[in-house]
Amino acid sequence: MTSTATKYRTCPLCEAMCGLEITLEGTTIQSIKGDKKDPFSRGHICPKAVALKDIHEDPDRLKFPIKKTEDGWQQISWEEAFDEVVNKFKEIQAKYGENAIATYNGNPTVHNYGSILFSPNFIRALKTKNRFSATSVDQLPHHLAGMTMFGHPLLMPVPDIDRTDFWLIMGANPIASNGSIMTAPDVANRLKAIQQRGGKVVVIDPRFTETSAKADQHIFIRPATDVWLLLGMIRAVLVRDWVRLGHLEDCINPAEIEKLKLLVAPFHIGKVVQKTGIEEAIIRQLMKEFSEAPSAVCYGRMGLSTVKFGGLSQWLINVLNILTGNFDKAGGAMFASPAFDMIRPTQKSQLKFGRWKSRVRGLPEHLGEMPSATLAEEILTEGEGQIKAMFTCCGNPVLSTPNGTQLEKAFQQLEYMVSMDIYLNETTCHADIILPPATGLEVGHYDVTFHYLAVRNSAKFSQPVLEKEEGTKYDWEIFTELITRLQGLHTPASSSPTSAKKLRLTPEMIVEAGLKNGAYNLTLQDLKDNPHGVDLGPLQSRLPDRLLMEDKKIKLVPDIFAKDLQRLLQQGSKQEESDKRKLLLIGRRHLRSNNSWMHNSERLVKGKNRCTLMIHPKDARKRGLLHGENAIVMSRAGSIKIPVEITEKIMRGVVSIPHGWGHNRKGTKQRVAEAHAGVSMNDVTDELLVDELTGNAAVNGVPVVVIAG
């Protein structure tokens, strides 16, 4: 008789850290529900969590190494795969130099504690400066603001939405994303709680989003102009003497406030109205309500980060929260207190930015990585330092980085490519060898990163729900094997009876050590004994102790941001006029999508086609577009054909396409995704459009031409 068991774990698919209750009959998953006893997520889950069953049982999922041959893909042994990969990498570096190999880490890397803890040592073992990741198509502005203002790239304040009276959301859709650089499961109910206690939620976005529908007020804004609104609001705070530093007064140098007054002087409300398209009365009402609320917090995400002035935008959000007395205070922007804390109080601030530049375009290094918008040109442009080989980990940059068509051509030119992934997708199909790790419910889990971004402090360790299949390997085991071979430390099992079983560092050991050195006196066993998680309380005031600056003060006006304000003022009006004659493209997220890699689950893609071009009725009429028929979207980078969705939920002059689709390329093996292919937004985003300050890709606010198709 088959036994029934119930197990608990954290969902590893997005930032929300939702607790799951999983019922098994033997090794068969019977149900996946929200864990009502999880103190952080309180029983909330989204449809993606249920699809963990689909990933586990997916016949397209890879489990053992495969190699591309003249006769197609063939399964090979782990030993053969490791030996070939390392020998080939060493051969290429001996011929062309260490930087001839590039690495790319995709978004799921940070959601797997094996990958995030072990991939850095693998990259260091390769000794290459050509390191890329999804970070530079997402969040570099957040990291630069944290590093220059507070002393560490992980010091990214999060909105204390459980206690705020006024939540200003800019360019974000947390009900669809479950938060982003804000770990917040069950955002809808948390938002509702603000309203029930008499507070207000305002969304500023070029699209009337799922979050807008739940908010008290929605305000349309032209894409990529949020920086002007923030500057106007800060100018008003300074001019009207609304500055309230509170307990942070000793953390702010008064001279910096005077400097800020001079810097924001040109950004008067008339200029803000002209740039943003928001009426003056609405702006004044917003400034007054935000400044007068008992507590308030401004939060901005993809619509502010992935634009031409993303760095300035994220800096200004911090400045606004600080000046209005809404920083390091209940209901404002606060720093979490993770149980496993990689930020040591004795650390010294170090600016890991701009230490070297990309070879072709001269964009800055950031946290040891190069901007992903430069990857294709670094492969295609000949000369010393040209990338000749790639290693991708859990990423699909052909669909997720700007100008995917160009990157696809670049990958085809490589001499050698290796991918660590569970699918033969639009990127890994260009690899010579694919190394698939055990995944999902087969692996242990501790959220190393997202406890830094959580709206409430907690800790939770998840043990594997199911045993991994015999002969498969965890991600950290794959990295360990590659590292030992690259460093010449590998000993064949045949020559040492104990080598296959020898004790090696594991993710659990690292988590155990991190917890012991943390502030809560927790052990890994404590977390294993509490499978629903441990509640560590609401966010607490952490300043000035949390600051890593030598003088323990906030750097309110870092020089790099002050200088970048001049770039904003000097941006060419000619270019602006040209862009106004075009439509501005923005992305969008859906609750049942997770970038590009959840589209092979039938339960997540079934129903009405979501890969459509949203356009305002007046813009559609002007171009002869009809609902449901195709339009052609063109940019400097390329063109795509996509069905039209005419709606008043998008601002005039703006169009929107969801990110992560485009499963119509040859050589892949994801049968469900291919049947619901859609088109890739990133075939028309432009790799030349970046935030020049941070190097982050500007995939929002891209000028496009739209015609009937």
Please say if the pLDDT value at position 495 is more than 50.
no
Claim to verify: residue 122 and residue 95 sit in the same structural domain: yes
- Per-residue pLDDT of 625-668, as tens digits, reads 999 999 999 999 999 999 999 999 999 999 999 999 999 999 99
Residues 405-428 have a mean pLDDT of 98
Task: Give a yes or no: residue 291 inside a domain.
Answer: yes
Task: Give a yes or no: residue 170 inside a domain.
Answer: yes
Q: CA distances (Å), 412 to each of 316, 398, 401, 409, 663, in order?
A: 41, 12, 16, 5, 18
Claim to verify: residue 637 and residue 586 sit in the same structural domain: yes
The domain that holds 377 is classified in CATH as: 3.40.50.740
Nearest to 464 by CA among 27, 139, 44: 27
- Per-residue pLDDT of 293-305, as tens digits, reads 999 999 999 999 9
Q: Rounded to an integer, what distance in angstroms lies between the CA atom of residue 536 and that of residue 68? A: 49
User: What's the total number of domains in the chain?
Assistant: 3
Residues 545-553 have a mean pLDDT of 94
Q: For residues 678 and 695, is the Cβ–Cβ distance under 8 A?
A: no
- Per-residue pLDDT of 346-377, as tens digits, reads 888 888 899 999 999 999 999 999 999 999 99
Residues 447-474 have a mean pLDDT of 96
pLDDT at 576: 58
Claim to verify: residue 252 and residue 218 sit in the same structural domain: yes
Claim to verify: residue 423 and residue 381 sit in the same structural domain: yes
Task: Give a yes or no: residue 552 inside a domain.
Answer: no
Claim to verify: residue 131 and residue 160 sit in the same structural domain: no
Q: For residues 454 and 38, is the Cβ–Cβ distance under 8 A?
A: no
Pairing of strands 654-658, 583-588: parallel
pLDDT at 497: 36
Q: CA distances (Å), 553 to each of 248, 320, 450, 546, in order?
A: 9, 17, 25, 10
Q: Rounded to an integer, what distance in angstroms lies between the CA atom of residue 365 and that of residue 358? A: 7
Strand order across the beta sheet in which 217-219 lies: 217-219, 200-204, 166-170, 297-300
Q: CA distances (Å), 452 to each of 2, 50, 144, 259, 314, in order?
A: 41, 26, 16, 31, 17
Claim to verify: residue 80 and residue 187 sit in the same structural domain: no
Q: Rounded to an integer, what distance in angstroms lies between the CA atom of residue 469 and that of residue 642? A: 41
Claim to verify: residue 110 and residue 170 sit in the same structural domain: no
Q: Rounded to an integer, what distance in angstroms lies between the CA atom of residue 147 and that of residue 469? A: 42
Q: Which two tokens stand for residue 386?
A: 């040209």
- Per-residue pLDDT of 571-629, as tens digits, reads 855 455 555 679 999 999 998 888 888 999 999 999 999 999 999 999 999 999 999 99
Claim to verify: residue 165 and residue 299 sit in the same structural domain: yes
Task: Give a yes or no: residue 554 inside a domain.
Answer: no
The domain that holds 688 is classified in CATH as: 2.40.40.20
b/e map 193-227, b = 16+ CB within 10 Å: ebeeeebbbbbbbbbbbbbbebbeebbbbbbbbbb
Residues 116-140 have a mean pLDDT of 96
Tell me the pLDDT band of 156, cut-offs 50, 70 and 90.
very high
Q: Rounded to an integer, what distance in angstroms lies between the CA atom of residue 341 and that of residue 337? A: 8
Q: CA distances (Å), 468 to each of 56, 440, 465, 531, in order?
A: 10, 10, 9, 20
Task: Give a yes or no: residue 39 inside a domain.
Answer: no
Task: Give a yes or no: residue 589 inside a domain.
Answer: yes
Q: Rounded to an integer, what distance in angstroms lies between the CA atom of residue 452 and that of residue 449? A: 6
b/e map 494-516, b = 16+ CB within 10 Å: eeeeeeeeeeeebbbebbbebbe
Q: Rounded to an integer, what distance in angstroms lies between the CA atom of residue 17 and that of residue 462? A: 11
Q: Which domain-ending residue is among 412, 434, 456?
A: 434
Claim to verify: residue 612 and residue 694 sit in the same structural domain: yes
Range of the domain at 394: 66-138+365-434
Claim to verify: residue 179 and residue 219 sit in the same structural domain: yes
Single-letter residue type at 538: P
Claim to verify: residue 134 and residue 148 sit in the same structural domain: no
Q: For residues 447 and 48, is the Cβ–Cβ distance under 8 A?
A: no
Task: Give a yes or no: residue 46 inside a domain.
Answer: no
Q: Exposed, middle or buried, 279 (CB in 10 Å: 0-12/13-18/19+)?
A: exposed
Residues 189-217 have a mean pLDDT of 98
Q: Rounded to an integer, what distance in angstroms lies between the CA atom of residue 434 and that of residue 599? A: 20
As a whole number, the mean pLDDT across the chain is 94
**What pTM was computed for the model?**
0.96
Residue carrying the six token digits 């496993």: 340
- Per-residue pLDDT of 210-255, as tens digits, reads 999 999 999 999 999 999 999 999 999 999 999 999 999 999 999 9
Q: CA distances (Å), 365 to each of 97, 111, 130, 391, 597, in order?
A: 19, 24, 10, 19, 28
Q: Which two tokens stand for residue 157?
A: 């304040």
Single-letter residue type at 613: L
Q: Which domain-ending residue is among 399, 434, 469?
A: 434
Claim to verify: residue 657 and residue 672 sit in the same structural domain: yes
The domain that holds 254 is classified in CATH as: 3.40.228.10
Q: Rounded to an integer, what distance in angstroms lies between the CA atom of residue 548 and that of residue 635? A: 44
b/e map 584-621, b = 16+ CB within 10 Å: bbbbbbbbbbbbbbbbbbeebbeeeeebbbbbbeebbe
Task: Give a yes or no: residue 250 inside a domain.
Answer: yes
pLDDT at 346: 80
Q: Which domain-ending residue is among 434, 450, 483?
A: 434
